Amino acid sequence: MNLWIIRHAKSSWAEPSQRDFDRPLNKRGNADGPRMAAWLANQSHPAQWIWTSSAVRAQATANFVADGFRAASPQIVRDNRLYHAGVYELMDVLRETPLEAQSVALVAHNPGLTYLVNHLAGHQELDNLPTFGIVQFEVQVPWHELAPHNAALLQVVSPNRL
């Protein structure tokens, strides 16, 4: 099975009074979206299930991810728990993934995602997962058994590395 951990694309701070939850993607985030979707379209193991934070910027990013994985007709599932979630909340959500989903994407926020990558890798792999950064893991067990010792890191990419 495959797990794609994806940080939301670059978001806007143009409206200082806007709630963090409601911030949209900025120009760079919207430009990175199609590029990253095109890269995802060329990867094996497209996600059939996409967990996403319900924050505006995460949902917009999840739509780009779904476009990249369109060959798998992914289902996007919004979950409020993913907004500012820590490692254990992120793991809890992933463990709820249906068994029939062999490839899953998780679109959420830092610092939780960086901590999750390092937790699953079993060591300090990243200092910071950049915006629209993507980390792919191979998972050797059913989702409900997900733990650090049964996930192998395959690759890390970001818009500035393409």
Q: Which of 124, 120, 118, 130 is nearest to 157 (CA)?
A: 130
Q: Give Cα 79 to chain centroid, integer Å.
A: 13
Model confidence over 36-72: pLDDT tens digits? 999 999 999 999 999 999 999 999 999 999 999 999 9
139: helix, strand or coil: strand
User: pLDDT tens digits for 66-99?
Assistant: 999 999 999 999 999 999 999 999 999 999 999 9
| Non-local CB neighbours of 83 within 8 Å, separated by 6+ positions | 21, 53, 54, 55, 58, 108, 109
Q: What is the pLDDT of residue 68?
A: 98
Query: Nearest CA to 42 among 64, 65, 61, 69?
Result: 69
Q: Which domain holds residue 104?
A: 2-9+21-161
pLDDT at 23 over 90: yes
CATH number at residue 115: 3.40.50.1240
pLDDT of residue 14: 86
Domain assignment of residue 143, yes or no: yes
In a domain, 128, yes or no: yes
* Cβ–Cβ < 8 Å for 10, 29: yes
Query: Facing residues of 157 across strands?
Result: 134
Instruction: Specify if 15 maps to a domain.
Output: no
Q: What's the total number of domains in the chain?
A: 1
**Per-residue model confidence (pLDDT) at position 162:** 86
Q: What pTM was estimated for this model as a whole?
A: 0.96
